Amino acid sequence: MASDHASAELLGAMSKLLIGVRDVALRLEVDDVDTARTTQAKLVDQLSDYVLPRLVQLDAPLLTVVGGSTGAGKSTLVNSLVGERVTESGVLRPTTRSPVLVYHPDDAEWFLPDRILPDLPRTDVPTNDTYALRLASSDKVPRGLAILDAPDVDSIDKGNRDLAAQLLAAADLWLFVTSAARYADQVPWDYLRQASERSTSVAVVLDRTSAEAVVEVRGHLARMMTSRGLSDSPLFTVPESGVDADGLLPSESVSPIVVWLHELAADPAARQMVVGRTLDGAVRHVVLRAHDVADAMDTQIAAAEVLHGEVETIFRKALDTFATQSADGTILRGEVLARWQEFVGTGELLRSVEEKVSRIRDRFVDGVTGKRTRSTEVVEAIESGLQMLLVEHAEAAAEAGSRAWASVPAGRTLLAANRGIDRASRDFRVRAERMVHDWRQSVLELVRVEGADKRMTARFLAFGVNGIGVALMVVVFSRNGEGKEAGGTAALAHKLLDAIFGEEVVISLADRAQADLEARAAGLFQSEIQRFLDLVESPQTIKANQDVLRESARQAEYARHSDFLNGEPTP
């Protein structure tokens, strides 16, 4: 890659991969989700902190991150490599609070927030803010080279450990510092193993080593490096020695490292080789890990299917039960039955509707007292009964849905964060009341339209639109088996309507009224279902995001092959 930036194809592919990884939602508590979230966060960091900035500016200074074990002397080494005191060292642990980035003054533009490590605020003064990047320019650092003093990878402070990992992932070159006392520690070697897997350019510094132990320790360390895929990495030794008044090691102790770094800075081809190896390894690594994140989404999809399925099944069953009870006579009990019987008289029209029209007309007219009629009382009782039935089923379904979710870890977490989901929504009663009222109005409209040419008949006049509407509602509530409590009086409503409209028309009116009621109830219950479903993405959405991520990873790998492998040889 001779250009100062990567190809548009690779840049576009890696940008899409960043978006694909970043947009993945791993919200559900399932097996190994913490591992997947950690992988996702690391990929986002590496793409935004290193891969994309470096692809955009391949000729930027070589970023050398100095990291390693607690007490290995990193800060002292950094000061000694630079030749002046730029970072603080001491005996208290953890020593390094904010990371320090040292570079030549002419290279300052490369380290603006929009170029590298964009989420770290910049400062030019010492600070205890772990997440601030302190910038320190020095003309003793050659152009083309930058040295970053990172926190300890095994710090007792988690913030330091996390930041160290983030900075090491943003390095072109990792200068790993250890000591005779710490070189075999497990944690640093875990980082070195990861560096080897990603093909990160690494140099190892064995610091603070006595003359007596140099041969033995260096030999053992070299064998450990070879066994972990780091046989090509340079190994430097810094003997144990005192420091001068400025806290710097003797120049001869660090001169091999200084010379090597300066030669890298001065040789564009060598610098490009280091950058190219690390960058290609980073791209390959994020592509592979992106597939791991996509694979982890399988358990998210499965959990979402369970959560969605449980709630939808429970609420659909509640809706089906409501539909059944709204047509099997359940409504025609208690207050509704009493008001209906008062309206028509128990059994009064069973023998002959024709004979009783005048008597019923008189009863209806006599029932008008101010603003209220007996038909109004029946309507109010019906609306109240329907509303209570809706509320009862909504409350029961919400409680059952919560119990179902509580049986799985993903559901329990969602319930804990959304108190009150085990009850119907606060405004459900009001919405149910409005729904029932609107349905009643639609029933009256059916009667008005169908009775347009019958309004002057005696039967129609006897009951009016409201009375006939009440009768039609009673027919709807009893059409699949009248309850015993109704005492057979619902049959009167059917006979009355048959006499006015004819049997076929009555059946059609009842069908339409019942279908309208069930549709309105379904809309009401859907909002209750949605309260649950809004807490978790649908399986289809998660699957779509998974497909996008996998395709982005595939395109990134194709672009990597084109840029690094099939174009110019990998540096």
Domains (ranges, CATH) in the chain? 1-60+269-298+539-571 (no CATH), 61-266 (3.40.50.300), 326-536 (no CATH)
CA dist 51 and 172 (Å) reads: 10
In terms of Cα–Cα distance, which of 127, 191, 186, 183 is closest to 161?
Answer: 191
pLDDT of residue 115: 72
Predicted TM-score (pTM) of this structure? 0.75
Q: Which helix (H) or strand (E) holds 66?
A: strand 62-68
Q: For residue 126, what are its two tokens?
A: 């010492």
CB atoms within 10 A of CB 65: 23
Chain CA centroid to CA 543, Å: 13
CA dist 169 and 49 (Å) reads: 8
The residue ranges of DSSP E strands in 90-229, in sequence order, are 100-103, 122-123, 133-137, 145-149, 173-179, 201-209
Helices (H), 174-210: 186-197
CA dist 522 and 528 (Å) reads: 10
Q: List phi, psi (to 5°) of 192.
A: -65, -35
Do 5 and 280 touch, CB atoms closer than 8 A? no
Q: For residue 543, what are its two tokens?
A: 């699957």
Beta carbons within 8 Å of 398's beta carbon, 6+ residues apart: 421, 422, 423, 424, 528
Instruction: Classify residue 14 by burial, with Cβ atoms within 10 Å: 0-12, 13-18, 19+.
Output: buried
CB atoms within 10 A of CB 566: 10
CA dist 439 and 445 (Å) reads: 10
In the numeric block, the tokens 């208690």 are attached to 334
CA dist 541 and 17 (Å) reads: 18
Instruction: Classify residue 358 by burial, with Cβ atoms within 10 Å: 0-12, 13-18, 19+.
Output: exposed
Strands 133-137 and 145-149, by their bridges, are unpaired
In terms of Cα–Cα distance, which of 30, 32, 50 is closest to 42?
Answer: 50
CB atoms within 10 A of CB 206: 23
In terms of Cα–Cα distance, which of 3, 11, 555 is closest to 290?
Answer: 555
Averaged pLDDT, groups of 10, the chain, 571 residues long: 73 94 93 94 90 88 89 87 80 58 90 75 73 87 92 82 84 90 83 84 88 87 89 90 87 93 92 90 93 96 96 96 89 76 54 45 42 68 91 96 94 92 94 94 90 63 76 87 53 82 90 95 95 94 95 94 56 37
- Measured distance between the N- and C-terminal CA atoms of the chain, rounded to whole angstroms: 8
Instruction: Classify residue 91 by burial, with Cβ atoms within 10 Å: 0-12, 13-18, 19+.
Output: exposed
CA dist 330 and 228 (Å) reads: 76
CA dist 504 and 506 (Å) reads: 5
pLDDT of residue 564: 64
Instruction: Classify residue 533 by burial, with Cβ atoms within 10 Å: 0-12, 13-18, 19+.
Output: middle
Instruction: Classify residue 336 by burial, with Cβ atoms within 10 Å: 0-12, 13-18, 19+.
Output: buried
CA dist 49 and 64 (Å) reads: 14
Q: For residue 284, what are its two tokens?
A: 């390959």
CB atoms within 10 A of CB 324: 12
* Gyration radius (Cα) of the chain, Å: 39
In the numeric block, the tokens 């639609």 are attached to 442
- Type of residue at 97: R
Q: Residue 201: beta bridge partners?
A: 173
Q: Quick check: bond before 94 cis, omega within 30?
A: yes
CA dist 434 and 309 (Å) reads: 29
CA dist 483 and 35 (Å) reads: 59
How far, CA to CA in Å, does 450 sit from each of 278, 460, 464, 501, 506? 81, 11, 13, 8, 10
| DSSP 8-state symbol, 47 | I
How far, CA to CA in Å, does 403 sit from each of 166, 302, 310, 398, 443? 41, 19, 10, 9, 37
Q: Residue 173: beta bridge partners?
A: 64, 201
Q: For residue 175, what are its two tokens?
A: 């200068």
Sign of CA dihedral 52, 55, 61, 67: positive
Residue 196, helix vs strand vs coil:
helix
pLDDT of residue 296: 95
- Type of residue at 259: V
- Type of residue at 302: A
Q: List phi, psi (to 5°) of 237.
A: -120, 130
